Amino acid sequence: MRKNLFLLLFLGILVPILTVAHPPKKVILKMKSNSKTLTVKVVHPVKDIKTHFIKSLVVKVNGVEVKTVDLTPESPYQSKDIDIELPNLKPGDEIAVVATCNRIGSKTGKIKI
């Protein structure tokens, strides 16, 4: 009886959270030609940007974290591309950007220069 009650309570809490919270769908990275500017676009469709948004972007070069961009619901980047300057890039470097949702989950985009 206790197990059934626990399972019912667990599902009653978990299922509603999962139906309204989801990680970003896609992280698209592009390097602007002949520059050190990375353009990041995060695809994360939501109904209410004030309560469900991308809270941060973590930029890694060759596996090493080089920059963190903290975002708020009011950040203009919630619906637009964000340009990030990466001055020390070299040919062959691999860039990864982890976009994290304020509710649940994250998604990583990668690009090699």
pLDDT at 65 over 80: yes
Least confident of 63-67, 73-77, 97-101: 73-77
DSSP codes of every residue in 45-96: --S-TTTS-EEEEEEEETTEEEEEEE--TT-GGGSS-EEEE-TT--TT-EEE
Taking the C-alpha atoms of residue 53 and residue 102, their distance in angstroms, rounded to an integer, is 6
pLDDT at 46 over 80: no
User: Which pLDDT does position 17 carry in this prediction?
Assistant: 46
Most confidently predicted of 28-37, 60-69, 75-84? 60-69
* CATH 2.60.40.730 holds for 22-112: yes
